[in-house]
């Protein structure tokens, strides 16, 4: 209920990056993984259930004739109960297999959550980046329009020719084209983000906070053994091992005790009175398989080969996850440094723009110089925005590996 209330507010309010994990409960992919986990959980406890009796009741009413006799209609009924007291240990290994399947389901659900959250963060970061690009282009376009007005004024004053304004007009057309592309990207990524989160309306973007210089993600421990991908593979291997042992015990006997109470019709068992058609039985039965054509042995071998394959894959997966974590750390550090360099480059572009305008007003620079300075500043700002996007994407990838 709290999540639904929160989502109702977010339809009209900004969508904070930090609240994305709280909104995954409406995602169909994650909900499917939860349903599969619940299915695996419902199969647990096979060993305990194996000690429960099985009961069967059957009743009917039939019309029949016996030889040349006249037809008759009678009731019949059977009540049977059976308890398995020994099953060669197969129930124990079935229980282990289902418990391992549940652990695999937990790992798969965790992995799906990480995947969906990573994709959501990826969409959010792209959505925010294109918002920022739109803002930069709009401000650059406004500045260019101001420069165009100033150039038109100089033309009317006879200080320059109309050709001096062409650079500004052409640059405005280029900016308008790029702005239209970025606005489309904002709309596309916003719709995808709303679809992933199950929002009926596009949310608004919150104000960007200051960039954090200290990133504690770089110091958090990472264990490939506890990653859900590794846990899922090892749990699958454990399931295969339990099923292999269970299959290999095909030859062990099964012992059942049973009881039955039966009321026959005359067609099934003829006696003079109805009371004589009632039977009662109590007994024990042993079932000993003698030969199954080698099918169980073949199945055991197949399960063992598959299990070894899963264990080898888990070893390889742990190596790759460790390497992926190292790569993610390096990429976060690299993009962080590049982000600071991009900020320094933007400051230089701003200073260059200021000096160019000052020299333009003194007649030292011309309109193409102003246009070039404005474009240089816009490119520096867009480059910084792109680098910020790269850095946040790198952080999101590292957070996905860490399960954050």
pLDDT tens per residue, range 142-201: 999 988 888 888 777 776 677 778 888 888 999 999 999 999 999 898 888 888 888 777
User: For 323-332, what is the mean pLDDT?
Assistant: 93
- Stretch among 39-43, 198-202, 204-208 having the lowest mean pLDDT: 204-208
User: For 29-55, what is the mean pLDDT?
Assistant: 87
pLDDT band at 212 (very low <50, low <70, confident <90, very high): low
Closest CA to 16 of 28, 27, 7: 7
3-class secondary-structure state, position 64: strand
CB 222 within 8 A of CB 325: yes
CA 93, CA 242: separation in Å to the nearest integer?
A: 5
Closest CA to 23 of 123, 128, 120: 120
Please provide the DSSP assignment of 278-318 as one string. EEEEEEEEEE-----TTHHHHHHHHHHHHHHHHHHHHHHHH
- In the predicted structure, residue 333 carries a pLDDT above the cut 80: yes
- In the predicted structure, residue 290 carries a pLDDT above the cut 80: yes
Say what the pTM is: 0.78
> Domain boundaries in the chain?
53-61+74-402
CA 35, CA 189: separation in Å to the nearest integer?
A: 28
At residue 377, the pLDDT reads 93
Burial (Cβ within 10 Å: 0-12, 13-18, ≥19) of residue 92:
middle
Token pair in block for residue 226: 């506890």
Token pair in block for residue 157: 């004053």
- In the predicted structure, residue 242 carries a pLDDT above the cut 50: yes
Highest CATH level, class, for 53-61+74-402: mainly alpha
User: For 295-307, what is the mean pLDDT?
Assistant: 91
Cα 142 to chain centroid, rounded: 42
For 337-381, write each residue's pLDDT tens digit. 999 999 999 999 999 999 998 888 887 888 888 889 999 999 999
User: For 285-298, what is the mean pLDDT?
Assistant: 89
Report the chain's mean pLDDT, rounded to a whole number: 86
Backbone angles phi, psi at 202, to 5 degrees: -70, 125
- In the predicted structure, residue 13 carries a pLDDT above the cut 70: no
Q: How many CA atoms lie within 13 A of 203 on its CB side?
A: 28
More confident of the two residues 270 and 286: 286
CB 81 within 8 A of CB 54: yes
């Amino acid at each position: 209920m709290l999540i639904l209330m929160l989502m109702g507010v977010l339809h009209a309010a900004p969508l904070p990056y930090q609240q994305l994990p709280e909104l995954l409960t409406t995602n169909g992919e994650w909900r499917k993984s939860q349903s599969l986990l619940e299915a695996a959980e419902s199969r647990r406890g096979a060993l305990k259930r194996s000690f429960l009796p099985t009961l069967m009741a059957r009743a009917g009413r039939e019309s029949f004739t016996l030889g040349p006799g006249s037809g008759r209609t009678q009731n019949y009924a059977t009540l049977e109960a059976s308890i398995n007291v020994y099953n060669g240990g197969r129930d124990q290994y079935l229980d282990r297999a289902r418990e391992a399947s549940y652990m695999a389901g937990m790992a798969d659900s965790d992995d799906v959550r990480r995947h969906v959250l990573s994709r959501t963060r990826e969409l959010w970061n792209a959505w925010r980046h294109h918002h920022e690009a739109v803002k930069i282009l709009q401000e650059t376009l406004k500045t260019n329009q101001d420069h165009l007005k100033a150039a038109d004024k100089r033309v009317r004053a006879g200080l320059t020719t109309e050709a001096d304004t062409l650079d500004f007009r052409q640059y405005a057309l280029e900016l308008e084209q790029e702005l239209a592309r970025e606005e489309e990207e904002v709309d596309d990524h916003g719709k995808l983000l709303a679809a992933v989160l199950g929002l009926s309306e596009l949310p608004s973007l919150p104000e960007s906070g200051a960039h954090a210089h200290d990133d504690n993600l770089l110091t958090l421990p990472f264990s490939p053994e506890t990653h859900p991908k590794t846990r899922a593979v090892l749990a699958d291997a454990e399931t295969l091992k339990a099923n292999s042992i269970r299959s290999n015990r095909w030859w062990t006997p099964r012992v059942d005790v049973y009881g039955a109470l039966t009321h026959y019709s005359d067609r099934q068992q003829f006696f003079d009175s109805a009371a004589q058609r009632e039977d009662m039985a109590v007994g024990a039965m042993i079932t000993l398989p003698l030969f199954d054509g080698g099918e169980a042995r073949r199945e055991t071998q197949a399960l063992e080969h598959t299990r070894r394959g899963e264990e080898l894959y888990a070893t390889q997966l742990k190596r790759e996850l460790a390497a992926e974590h190292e790569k993610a750390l390096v990429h976060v550090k690299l993009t962080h440094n590049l982000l600071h360099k991009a900020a320094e480059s933007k400051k230089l572009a701003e200073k260059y723009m200021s000096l160019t305008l000052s020299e333009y007003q003194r007649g030292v620079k011309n309109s193409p110089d102003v246009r070039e300075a404005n474009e240089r500043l816009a490119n520096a700002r867009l480059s910084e925005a792109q680098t910020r996007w790269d850095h946040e994407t790198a952080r999101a990838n590292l957070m996905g590996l860490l399960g954050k």
